[in-house]
Structure 1
Amino acid sequence: MNRTQREAAARRIMESTPPPVPPELYAEVVRRGGRLLRRRRVVVRLTYLLLFAAMVTFVVWALVARPWVEPPSETTPPLTGW
């Protein structure tokens, strides 16, 4: 089969009408698509909830631990006997 014959065969296949979709298949596809959309929506909401919880946890930790404050020096002895 040469190139022109292959192109002609491909054109015939693409130009032919597709077979009709059975109604039970359509209903099944709609049901599965709805389920996929609901699952995706739940996953997105849980992801946002997890990110929000992580952000709140970090803010609370930062306010309690105050990592930007330099810890007091413990290398010099206390001054006594002045």
Structure 2
Amino acid sequence: MFRITLLTQTDCGLCEHAKQVLDDVGNDYDLHVTEIDLHSDIGRRLAQDARVLFAPGVLLDGEPFGHGRLSERKLRRTLRRRHDRH
């Protein structure tokens, strides 16, 4: 199982895109997605630690993966590599 933390904000089109990508990828990989508001205390802390400049921010297993438009191709490639290692 892969743990995804999604840092979002309201009225964010890229956040909605990221949620759709995660739904699609979740059909092929076991994902546990936690959505956290970027403006909450924990959201601000996670964003600062991960150097997320704007929403959406994505952490994969607690490590920074990216922010802004989520690339489904990059995510699938990363998950495939991690899956193949185990």
Judge same fold: TM > 0.5, yes or no.
no
Which of 1 and 2 has higher RCO (CA within 8 Å, sep 6+)? 2
TM-score normalised to structure 2 length: 0.22
Larger fraction in strand: 2
TM-score normalised to structure 1 length: 0.23
Larger radius of gyration between Structure 1 and Structure 2: 1
Larger fraction in helix: 1
